[in-house]
Amino acid sequence: MILKALYDYYNRCNNLPASGMEEKEIGFVIVISKEGNFVRFEDCRIDNKQARTYLVKKHVGRSSAVVANYLYDNSAYVLGYAENEKAKKDVDN
C-alpha cells in the first residue's frame, strides 16, 4: 500500500527525472567526433561553485570495485589523471 502510494506520487510529480536517471552538475565536457577522435574540451562551469546540470544515468556507487559511470565521471576515471597518488592507485587497481 505504501509502495503504491509512493509510485503514484512519483508519477504525479512531472519535474522528477525518469527512473534510473538523475540530474548531475558537470563542469567539463569532452567532445569527440563520430569516429571517436578528440575534438575539444567545453567548460560548462557557471561560476566557481556551480556547473551546468545534465540528465544522466544514475551514478554507480563505488566501495571497492572500480566501476566507471556511463558517459560521465571524474578525471581519474575518464583520463587516468589524479592530483594525488592515492586516487590514481585506486583507479589503476
Instruction: Give the torsion through C-alpha atoms of 31, 32, 38, 39, to 10 deg.
Output: -60
Residue type at 82? A
Would you say residue 82 has pLDDT above 70? yes
pLDDT for res 79: 81
pLDDT for res 86: 60
- The CA distance from 88 to 76, in Å, is 6
Kindly report, residue by residue over 12-41, the tens digit of the pLDDT: 887 888 888 899 999 999 999 999 999 999
Backbone φ and ψ of 62, nearest 5° = -110, 130
Query: 88 and 76 in contact (C-beta within 8 Å)?
Result: yes
Q: What three-state secondary structure class fits 42? A: strand
DSSP label of 20? T
pLDDT for res 76: 78
- The CA distance from 14 to 28, in Å, is 28
In the numeric block, the cell 556547473 is attached to 51
Residue type at 39? V
